[in-house]
């Protein structure tokens, strides 16, 4: 009987302590001073896609992975034999497709800016013969950690983003290059920036290798 009373007391004490801790955390969150990200929250707003969109299969640019190979800088990649960026005299970059579970204009704009930077630097107006088209889709992302991991710092959790990219001949629609990459980190901005930096470094490296 005494053991049962002791167990009930310990359980009750744990419950009370948990409620107090959560109350303190929520109170601190409510009364905290506004941070820089709060000022810019309109710019960084995101929301879950509606239920109908979530029930649909994500729009994939790459359905067949069998001919793709792993790389040190990006996850998976494939090039048509004989193709290189130096053969392109123009790149038409399509709007970024977002088929992930979240609607996030900021992420789409950041990826679009990164693509413009990468392919504007790759144009070979003097000698290129191909008018290329670049398509990119965000196929998965989680821009914020789960609530439990945000309240309990010792619980491991990550945010992430994943993209698919294809380069096509704009006239024939023949696929010239396929690339899949993503990033998983503690911070979503770092994930997006890191993913695009990897892609930029990969194409810069491949361009140098083709020139040698």
At 175-189, the pLDDT tens digits run: 999 999 999 998 999
DSSP states along the chain: -HHHHHHHHHHHHHHHHHHHHHHHHHHHHHHSPP-HHHHTTTTT--EEPPHHHHHSPP--S----TT-EE-SSSSEEEE-TT--GGGEEEEEEPPPEE-SSEE-HHHHHHHHHHHHHHHHTT--TTT--EEEEEEEEEEEEE-S--HHHHH-TTS---EEEEEEEEEEETTT--EEEEEEEEEEESSHHHHHHHHHHHHHHHHHHHHHHHH-
CA–CA distance, 134 with 170 (Å, rounded to integer): 9
Residue 151 confidence (pLDDT):
52
pLDDT of residue 206: 87
Residue-range domains of the chain with CATH: 48-211 (3.30.160.100)
The half-sphere exposure of 141 on its side-chain side, counting CA atoms within 13 A, is 31
The model's pLDDT over 156-211, given as tens digits with 9 standing for 90+, comes to 578 999 999 999 999 999 999 999 999 999 899 999 999 999 999 999 998 777 66
The answer to whether the Cα torsion of 203, 163, 178, 128 is positive or negative is: negative
**pLDDT per residue rounded down to tens, the chain (212 residues):** 554 555 445 455 445 444 444 454 444 443 344 455 543 653 467 677 665 455 566 678 998 889 999 999 999 999 999 999 999 999 999 999 999 999 999 999 999 999 999 999 888 777 889 999 999 999 999 988 765 555 555 555 789 999 999 999 999 999 999 999 999 998 999 999 999 999 999 999 987 776 65
Phi-psi region of 82 (alpha: psi -120 to 50; beta: other; left: phi over 0): left
Contact 103, 47 (CB under 8 A): yes
């Amino acid at each position: 009987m005494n053991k049962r009373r002791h167990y009930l007391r310990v359980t009750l004490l744990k419950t009370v302590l948990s409620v107090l801790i959560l109350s303190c955390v929520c109170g601190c969150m409510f009364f905290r001073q506004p941070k820089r990200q709060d000022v810019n929250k309109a710019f960084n707003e995101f929301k879950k896609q509606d239920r109908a969109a979530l029930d649909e299969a994500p729009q994939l640019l790459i359905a067949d992975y069998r001919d793709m190979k792993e790389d040190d800088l990006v996850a998976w990649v494939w090039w048509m034999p004989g193709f290189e960026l130096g053969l392109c005299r123009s790149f038409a970059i399509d709007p970024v497709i977002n088929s992930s579970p979240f609607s996030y204009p900021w992420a789409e704009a950041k990826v679009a800016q990164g693509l413009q930077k990468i392919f504007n630097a790759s144009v070979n107006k003097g000698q290129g013969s191909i008018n290329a088209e670049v398509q990119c889709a965000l196929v998965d992302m989680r821009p914020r950690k789960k609530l439990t991991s945000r309240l309990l710092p010792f619980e491991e959790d990550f945010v992430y983003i994943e993209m698919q990219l294809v380069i096509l001949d704009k006239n024939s629609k023949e696929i010239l290059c396929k690339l899949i990459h993503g990033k998983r980190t503690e911070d979503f901005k770092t994930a997006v920036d890191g993913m695009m930096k990897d892609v930029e470094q990969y194409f810069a490296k491949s361009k140098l290798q083709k020139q040698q």
